[in-house]
Amino acid sequence: MNAHALVVAAGAGVRAGGGLPKQYRAIAGVSLLRRAIERLQAHGGFAGITIVINPVDRALYDAAVAGLALPEPVAGGSTRQQSVRNGLEALAGVDLVFVHDAARALVPDTVLDGLFAALSDPANDGAVPGIAVNDSLRRGAAHYQGSVDRDGLFRVQTPQAFRFAPLLAAHRAAAAGATDELAIAMAAGLKVAVTSGDERAFKVTEPEDFAKAAAMVTPALTSRAASGFDVHRFGAGDHVWLCGIAIPHDHGLIGHSDADVGLHALTDALLGTIAAGDIGDHFPPSDVRWKGASSDIFLAHAATLVRGRGGIIDHVDVTLICERPKIGPHRTAMRERIAAILSIATNRVSVKATTTELLGFTGRSEGLAAQAIASVRLPAQAGDDCQLPEQD
Ligand code: MG
């Protein structure tokens, strides 16, 4: 059976605010209309998808569907009923038609599957998704005027799916003023099944619905924290690099690169949040390219890897362990430098310092140590769920 989707996107959608028809407004960077089309394409059950638009919005439409393989859109009418009629009249060679609203862009496969299943029964002329009403229903405007029995009532969603020929005939015969295809089909005496709707197929209508829809399409983020540690030995020199800042000192730090222990510890911490090994794996000391290298490169690389996984760097904290040089006078510059390398706000960067009370190699000023911790959020991946043991 040749199934075709007809997506109605001709309305003004002014209730949703935002200064342009809601179907062209973005949900997490992608327009509502494009999301609706891509959702139907992803299902895989449709031989074609036709969009009904208001011709005055043609430029918005072209931008919204750029790169998608779609037939020429159909011009809508002054009412939704007329727009659907125009769309149906433009179709040919279609067995089943799913009439859908762009505003229900997030309809899940289960709803579409349920409609296809209902239409596999030859006894059904159509099928609509419905959700049982759980709230008590009352009638009244300013004052209570009585209750309504909710038994057998449901909220109807789209797509509404029909055998094409009977729906077209019903539309041609319909009086003006029908709210949806179900009403038109009922007036024509068609037999329509009610299948399972889904709250995810809710209609984006009010301004706050955009945030709700955006939350639904944004992958859940999980928190990760990881630590790093590094040591370099003091040697001859007149300055040390610490957290990206050159600090005058009576010694330097020995290392293959600029020996910036702060940035090295922090690089390892960031790599740890994505379990991507350590700094030596990415920048082997045996590689001459990194001889004398500024450690900015290492830290920026780790940040790029985290962001490549869709990660957000929430906070980093570095502790420098030494008797000298004094860190306090350079703390602000260090925080600003790290923030710049990571492209995050300075208030998300902490730099601390401590001594070891003259104990150990740092106390004897043989070397300088640093530890760091990084906190990030990453999109949840398959396998992230932990199984809790069964409780007795
Ligand atoms: Mg190092």
Please write the tens of the pLDDT for every residue from 110-127. Answer: 999 999 999 999 999 999
Residue 385 lies in a domain: no
- In the reported structure, the alpha carbon of residue 232 is separated from the centroid of ligand 1 by a whole-number distance in angstroms of 6
User: How far does the centroid of ligand 1 lie from the alpha carbon of residue 259, in Å?
Assistant: 6
How far, in Å, from the CA of 231 to the mean position of ligand 1? 6
Query: What is the share, in percent, of the chain residues with pLDDT greater than 90?
Result: 83
Q: In this structure, is residue 388 part of a structural domain?
A: no
Q: Are 184 and 119 in contact (CB under 8 A)?
A: no
Q: How far is the CA of 158 from the centre of ligand 1 (A)?
A: 59
Rg (CA), the chain: 31
Mean of the pLDDT values across residues 41-51?
Answer: 97
pLDDT on residue 385: 63
- 189/140 Cα distance (integer angstroms): 31
Both 97 and 152 in a single domain? yes
Q: Please, which residues have CB less than 5 A from ligand 1, an ion? A: 230, 264
From the CA of 256, how far away is ligand 1's center (Å)? 8
**Does one domain contain both 290 and 229?**
yes
Task: Calculate how far, in angstroms, residue 24's C-alpha sits from the geometric centre of ligand 1.
Answer: 51
What are the structure tokens assigned to 248, written together?
A: 């005058």
277 shares its domain with 334 = yes
Claim to verify: residue 171 and residue 284 sit in the same structural domain: no
Ligand 1 centroid from CA 254, angstroms:
9
pLDDT the model gives residue 367: 96
Cα 364 to ligand 1 centre (Å)? 19
Domain boundary among 217, 236, 257: 217
Q: How do residues 51-93 score in pLDDT, each as one tens digit?
A: 999 999 999 999 999 999 999 999 999 999 999 999 999 999 9
Distance in Å, CA 258 to ligand 1 centroid? 9
CA of 354 to the centre of ligand 1 (A): 19
Alpha-carbon span 312 to 377, nearest angstrom: 5
Q: Of the candidates 169, 191, 217, which is a domain's last residue?
A: 217
Please check whether residues 56 and 153 belong to one and the same domain: yes
Alpha helix positions (H), the chain: 32-43, 58-64, 80-90, 109-119, 164-173, 181-187, 207-217, 261-273, 279-282, 296-308, 331-342, 360-363
Q: Is residue 391 part of a domain?
A: no
- Domain assignment of residue 390, yes or no: no
The CATH code of the domain that includes 187 is 3.90.550.10
Is 110 in the same domain as 259? no
Decide: 376 and 271 in contact? Cβ < 8 Å: no
- Distance (Å, whole) CA 148 – CA 133: 11
Banded model confidence at residue 186, pLDDT cuts 50, 70, 90: very high
Q: Which structure tokens are listed for 158?
A: 């789209």
End position of a domain, from candidates 217, 233, 258: 217
- Let me know whether 262 and 283 are in one domain: yes
Q: Both tokens of residue 369?
A: 């140590």
Please report the pLDDT score of residue 388 as a whole number: 56
Ligand 1 centre distance from Cα of residue 291 (Å): 12
CA angle 361–367–373, rounded 5-degree value: 95
Q: Is the peptide bond before 379 cis (omega within 30 degrees of 0)?
A: no
Measured in Å, residue 378 CA sits from the centre of ligand 1 at 26
The tens digit of pLDDT for each residue in 290-345 reads: 888 899 999 999 999 999 999 999 999 999 999 999 999 999 999 999 999 999 99
Spatial contact of 244 and 260, defined as CB atoms under 8 Å apart: yes
Q: How many domains does the chain have?
A: 2
What is the three-class DSSP state of 294? coil
How much distance in Å is there from the Cα of 296 to the middle of ligand 1?
12
The answer to the question of residue 384 being in a domain is: no
Going from the Cα of 386 to the center of ligand 1, the distance in angstroms, rounded, reads 34
Q: Does residue 225 share a domain with residue 207?
A: no
> Which DSSP letter does residue 387 get?
P
The answer to whether residue 278 is domain-embedded is yes
Q: Using one digit for the tens of pLDDT, what is the confidence trace for 138-148? A: 888 888 888 88
Q: Which CATH number does the domain housing residue 295 bear?
A: 3.30.1330.50
**Encoding tokens for residue 6?**
């007809």
Residue 322, Cβ density class (10 Å: 0-12 exposed, 13-18 middle, ≥19 buried): buried
Q: How far is the CA of 369 from the centre of ligand 1 (A)?
A: 9
**Res 386 pLDDT > 70:** no
Note if the bond before 166 is cis, omega within 30 degrees: no
Q: How far is the CA of 263 from the centre of ligand 1 (A)?
A: 8
C-alpha distances out from residue 373 to 179, 266, 270, 288, 336, Å: 58, 7, 8, 29, 17
Specify if 21 maps to a domain. Answer: yes
Q: How far apart are CA 102 and CA 32, in angstroms?
A: 7
Q: How far is the CA of 292 from the centre of ligand 1 (A)?
A: 12
Residue 36, in any domain of the structure:
yes
User: Do residues 114 and 8 share a domain?
Assistant: yes
**Torsion from C-alpha of 327, 329, 333, 339, nearest 10 degrees:** 50
- Ligand 1 centroid to Cα of residue 85, in Å, is 70
Q: What is the pLDDT of residues 150-185, one digit of tens each?
A: 888 999 999 999 999 999 999 999 999 998 999 999
Do 271 and 206 lie in one domain? The reply is: no
What is the domain extent for residue 247?
221-379
Centroid of ligand 1 to alpha carbon of 128 (angstroms): 64
